[in-house]
């Protein structure tokens, strides 16, 4: 009901997390708890697909991803590629899939901060520490190329650079690339 009125309301999302946590504490089976996390992940996907500007959904998603990689849920969900990534603990394939989602999102609304903040989180240590440096570098270079392309389009359309393309695409990540080189 809260989400019908405002699907981005962070108070409603916080309350949802509280209720979910209380519910999970009442469950005796670890499998049932994992199922709840999986269902919540699918819910974030649904909410993001409805509105990519839903920072609260992106944030909740970031919290669930780590839980699902740790638990490696042995669940059945027809044709869900994300579940396959979690089961196999395949962070590289997961990251590629999320980057496709992010790319769609930042081309849809390049000024939406929630997408850019989530993108920055995706390139954090949680993912990259387990990836071979050459894979991390390739993903990063491809992402920077996409961001540069987006910024060129924004400049052509609006006459000025996109602030998020400049913040995330260059300054932050050039330092990261240097770190990968060492």
Sites in the chain below the pLDDT cut of 50: none
Task: Specify the pLDDT at position 1.
Answer: 52
Task: Specify the pLDDT at position 135.
Answer: 87
Task: Specify the pLDDT at position 167.
Answer: 77
pTM confidence score: 0.85
Structure confidence by residue, pLDDT tens digits, 75-106: 877 668 999 999 899 999 999 999 999 999 99
Cβ within 8 Å of residue 164, ≥6 positions away? 106, 110, 111, 113, 116
Structure confidence by residue, pLDDT tens digits, 51-72: 898 999 999 999 999 999 999 8
Largest CA distance in the chain: 58
Task: Specify the pLDDT at position 123.
Answer: 83
Backbone torsion region of residue 72, taken as left when φ is above 0, otherwise alpha when ψ lies between -120 and 50, otherwise beta: left
For Cα atoms 38, 43, 44, give the angle at the middle one, nearest 5 degrees.
100
The answer to whether 99 and 139 have CB atoms below 8 angstroms apart is: yes
Task: Specify the pLDDT at position 179.
Answer: 62
Task: Specify the pLDDT at position 73.
Answer: 75
């Amino acid at each position: 009901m809260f989400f019908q009125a405002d699907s981005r309301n962070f108070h409603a999302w916080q309350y949802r997390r509280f209720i979910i946590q209380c519910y999970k504490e009442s469950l005796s089976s670890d499998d049932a708890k994992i199922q709840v996390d999986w269902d919540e992940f699918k819910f974030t996907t649904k909410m993001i697909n409805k509105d990519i500007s839903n920072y609260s959904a992106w944030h909740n998603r970031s919290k669930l991803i780590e839980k699902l990689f740790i638990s490696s849920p042995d669940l059945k969900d027809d044709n869900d590629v994300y579940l396959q990534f979690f089961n196999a603990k395949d962070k590289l394939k997961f990251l590629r899939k999320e980057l496709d989602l992010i790319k769609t999102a930042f081309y849809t609304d390049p000024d939406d901060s929630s997408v850019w903040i989530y993108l920055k989180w995706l390139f954090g240590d949680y993912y990259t520490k387990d990836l071979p440096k050459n894979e991390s570098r390739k993903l990063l270079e491809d992402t920077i190329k996409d961001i540069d392309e987006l910024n060129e389009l924004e400049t052509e359309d609006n006459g000025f650079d996109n602030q998020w393309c400049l913040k995330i695409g260059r300054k932050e990540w050039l330092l990261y690339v240097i770190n990968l080189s060492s």
